[in-house]
Amino acid sequence: MPFLQATFNGWITIMNSAVDSVGVDMQPNFEDNIYMYCYFIDFIIIGLFLPLSMLIGAIIANFNKHKVKISINILCSSMPEGKNMSCFK
């Protein structure tokens, strides 16, 4: 069930079934277990959006790190031959 919710495939149907659930060998009641809405919404926010934003942050940090390396290499390549050896250390 968490995999279906994490992929956003059919999670609304599962959420509606969970909200209507009552117990074992009992008929479901409409919106009997209202706290399941909180579980599903919290799972989506904490379990999906937070790791996604952390992944995007890591990608942006990596791009910025490589941008600094590239700008240093461009700066060193524009120096005269004798001085640019100190850039590569």
Is the pTM here over 0.85, yes or no?
Answer: no
Sort residue 24 into left (φ over 0), alpha (ψ -120 to 50) or beta. beta
pLDDT along the chain (89 residues), means of 10: 68 87 87 88 83 90 82 63 53
Per-residue model confidence (pLDDT) at position 75: 61
Per-residue model confidence (pLDDT) at position 89: 52
The structural domain count of the chain equals 1
**Could you give the CA distance from residue 35 to residue 82 in angstroms, rounded to a whole number?**
71
Domain limits at 30?
2-86
Distance between start and end Cα atoms, the chain: 53
